[in-house]
């Protein structure tokens, strides 16, 4: 069981992650408001980042972008030459695959090349829209280390000012505030940046793969439907 002294030491150690302070020559403690503000900005960013990460993971699932069951049913209907049935199957879904498939089927009477162009253009639009929706994660991943670096520089300036004020003979306890600010702001900057960057890269690759799969299934189904219904490669 921890003694009161041990608990007090633990609490004091934990405080450095949430508040920047410095020790004065007379032994009193003074809060470093600039360093503390940067720490709390980064903590707030970490909370928002968690929400963005959860939102990104939920909003870009397979069943929302490329539902396997809908794609298989669409492919079966198209391979049988029933473009109306294939369209109704796709239109019943609100997925990105449905948008790509409906665009291709609606343009198929104008020629296979037109259907391909419509599918590719719609796929690009769907991908771009989803990439924009996760861009804030990339912003957090890029900005938070810069804020952490700013805190690092500020903390080192405070430490060097302490050394200068003491004539180069500063007590290590007096340097702890500036060095602590430098390290803690760097810590929180990395806490925000690493998960945000990992999620952004993972979800972006996931979106790219699912949109590519949706486009590939659509083009394959469109080719089958065109062959069955006798649609020309190009419109005369």
* pLDDT the model gives residue 173: 61
pTM for the whole thing? 0.80
Does residue 10 belong to any structural domain of this protein?
Answer: no
170-207 pLDDT, tens digit per residue, is 666 666 667 777 888 888 999 999 999 999 999 999 99
What residues have CB less than 8 Å from 189, skipping those under 6 apart? 42, 144, 145, 146, 147, 148, 149, 151
Q: Which of 200, 218, 198, 222 is nearest to 210 (CA)?
A: 218
Does residue 22 belong to any structural domain of this protein?
Answer: no
Does residue 11 belong to any structural domain of this protein?
Answer: no
Does residue 194 belong to any structural domain of this protein?
Answer: yes
* pLDDT the model gives residue 166: 64
Return the bridge partners of 21, or none. 31
CA-CA distance, 183 to 174, in Å (whole number)?
15
Looking at residues 148-155, what average pLDDT do you find? 86
Q: Kindly tell me if the per-residue pLDDT of 120 is higher than 80.
A: yes
Length reported for the chain: 236
CA-CA distance, 122 to 211, in Å (whole number)?
10
User: Contact at 8 Å (CB) between 54 and 29?
Assistant: no
* pLDDT the model gives residue 80: 81
Does residue 85 belong to any structural domain of this protein?
Answer: yes
Domain that holds residue 225: 30-229
Does residue 134 belong to any structural domain of this protein?
Answer: yes
Does residue 59 belong to any structural domain of this protein?
Answer: yes
Number of structural domains in the chain: 1
Consecutive H or E run containing 100: helix 96-107
76-98 pLDDT, tens digit per residue, is 888 887 788 888 988 888 899 99
Does residue 47 belong to any structural domain of this protein?
Answer: yes
pLDDT band at 47 (very low <50, low <70, confident <90, very high): very high
CA-CA distance, 224 to 83, in Å (whole number)?
10
Q: Kindly tell me if the per-residue pLDDT of 31 is higher than 90.
A: no
Q: List alpha helices for the chain, DSSP H.
A: 4-15, 33-59, 62-65, 68-79, 83-91, 96-107, 112-133, 135-165, 172-229
């Amino acid at each position: 069981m921890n003694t009161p002294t041990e608990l007090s030491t633990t609490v004091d150690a934990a405080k450095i992650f949430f508040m920047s302070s410095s020790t004065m020559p007379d032994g009193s403690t003074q809060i470093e408001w600039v360093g503390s503000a940067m720490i709390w900005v980064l903590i707030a960013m970490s909370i928002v980042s968690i929400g963005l990460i959860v939102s990104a993971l939920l909003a870009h699932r397979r069943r929302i972008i490329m539902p396997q069951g809908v794609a298989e049913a669409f492919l079966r209907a198209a391979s049988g030459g029933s473009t109306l049935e294939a369209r109704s199957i796709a239109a019943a879904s609100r997925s990105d695959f449905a948008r790509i498939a409906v665009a291709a089927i609606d343009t198929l009477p104008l020629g296979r090349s037109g259907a391909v162009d419509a599918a590719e253009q719609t796929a690009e639009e769907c991908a771009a829209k989803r990439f924009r929706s996760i861009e804030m994660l990339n912003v957090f991943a890029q900005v938070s280390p810069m804020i952490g670096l700013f805190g690092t520089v500020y903390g080192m300036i405070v430490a060097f000012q302490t050394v200068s004020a003491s004539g180069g003979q500063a007590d290590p306890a007096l340097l702890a505030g500036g060095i602590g600010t430098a390290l803690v702001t760097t810590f929180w900057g990395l806490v925000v940046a690493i998960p945000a960057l990992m999620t952004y890269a993972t979800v972006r690759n996931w979106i790219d793969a699912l949109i590519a799969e949706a486009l590939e299934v659509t083009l394959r189904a469109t080719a089958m439907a065109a062959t069955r219904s006798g649609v020309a490669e190009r419109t005369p």
